[in-house]
Chains A and B, each alone.
Chain A
Amino acid sequence: MSSFEPKIVAFVCNWCTYAGADLTGTSRIKYAPNVKVIRFPCTGRIDFMLLLKAFARGADGIIVSGCHPNDCHYTSGNFHARRRWMVFRRLLDFLGIDVRRVHFFWISAAEGAKWAEMVNETVETVRKLGPFERYQKLTTAGVA
């Protein structure tokens, strides 16, 4: 039995997933407490550098979630985000970072149950992968 508890950072949009996660709570659905939610105006605002910063500061896994396609509060933010992640994910993989540490979902404000399910699933996947020591080591390499 390992005592490893993965740290998950979730970057979510204000209009859908944040409200969805809120619904999970008000519906009294229990889910893994490993996730730290950061609210953004839109998935289109989530810069890829933010994901790297989360990893550098000790995240073992990341969730990015927002409105379903065609449901964006700003019409097209999630479409732009989708393209960005299509490219970024391949880049991470090319550089040797396990893409199973970065999970992407579309979760609407009505999908409280889906949020709980997806968080639990992510936590279990990352738990199996173990701590992201490889990346965290980069932060201390060369620093006395």
Chain B
Amino acid sequence: MDDLRKKAKELLESKQAGVVIGYGNGTGDRVRAIFAQSPADADKLVFDDRCLQNLTVYLSKSEVRKIGKPAVVVTLPGLRTILQLASEKQVAENDIIVLGISPEGALLDLPGFKAITDYVASANLDYTDAEMRNLDEVLKLSLDERFQFWNDELSRCIKCYACRQACSLCYCSRCTVECNQPQWIAVPSHDLGDFEWHVMRAMHLAGRCVNCGDCARACPVDIPINLINHLLAQVTFDSFGLRSGTSPEADYALSTFRPDDKEDFIR
């Protein structure tokens, strides 16, 4: 943590960074995102195991971009997000400074995309046992039970779109849900609108989601939305061999193709 503060102070003092996006103490026992703009602010930075939010979500916000070049505190999911955003031409290498943190909490030296790519390549990107268990639990249900399961879960949805706001990869300035001509997704949070919203969200993140888990953490009614993302990440990996957020030049699974893509259902 001292390394992090020292580095942040350096960046702000030398004006290499206009703002350091990191974690600070919030109300109660919580941490929150803080935007350090002066060397004195850098002392407010903290890092511990409560710091789970993927702070790259702020990189695409114009309010943040206006302050100056951002330096952002990230762990593995955040690093993958940066690579994914780079592959989608949303961040350029010289636009940001990356303050990577290892699983042990040490500050990593990641000077460019090449270093991030190498770091991500050496990391274990598999789902944890708990994540796999959650996925299997839904998959082993019968079709009827699955429909009921999701109907029960999604019926709690209040369409607050916190999952979208928390997602670093949901950066469209105009989202389909706000489009009312044609109205793709019904506005009220009834069963149909909820279902359509979550299908659309999942499809738009298929092959892009980096499994940071912020959507599920942001959900005020605890819908396990990241389960759907997990499934689709697995499908795109198994079917196309593409894993999101592993290279700044990677293809997006659904905007590219191979003539020999294999399926078994089109006749």
Contacts and interface: CB of A to CB of B under 8 A. Distances in A.
Interface of A: 48-49, 52-53, 56, 69-70, 76, 79-80, 82-91, 93-99, 103-106, 118, 134, 137-139, 141-143
A95 B259 contact: no
Contacts, number: 116
Nearest to A134: B147
B191 A96 contact: no
B228 A69 contact: no
A70 B143 CA distance: 35
Contacts of A56: 192, 196
B196 A106 contact: no
Interface stretch (B13-21, B68-76, B103-111, B201-209): B201-209
A34 B123 CA distance: 53
B266 A104 contact: yes
B232 A79 contact: no
Contacts of A96: 141, 143-151
B165 interface: no
Given A49-B184, A94-B231, A138-B191, A87 B138 contact: no
Contact of A83 (B148, B228, B257): B257
Contacts of A143: 190
A97 B196 CA distance: 13
Interface in B193-249: 195-196, 199-200, 202-203, 206-207, 228, 231-232, 235-236, 239-240
Contacts of A103: 267
A94 B139 contact: yes
Nearest to A114: B267
Given A80-B254, A83-B257, A89 B199 contact: no
B257 A48 contact: no
A76 B263 CA distance: 16
Given A95-B150, A134-B147, A83 B190 contact: no
Given A56-B192, A95-B146, A96-B150, A49 B200 contact: yes
B254 A94 contact: no
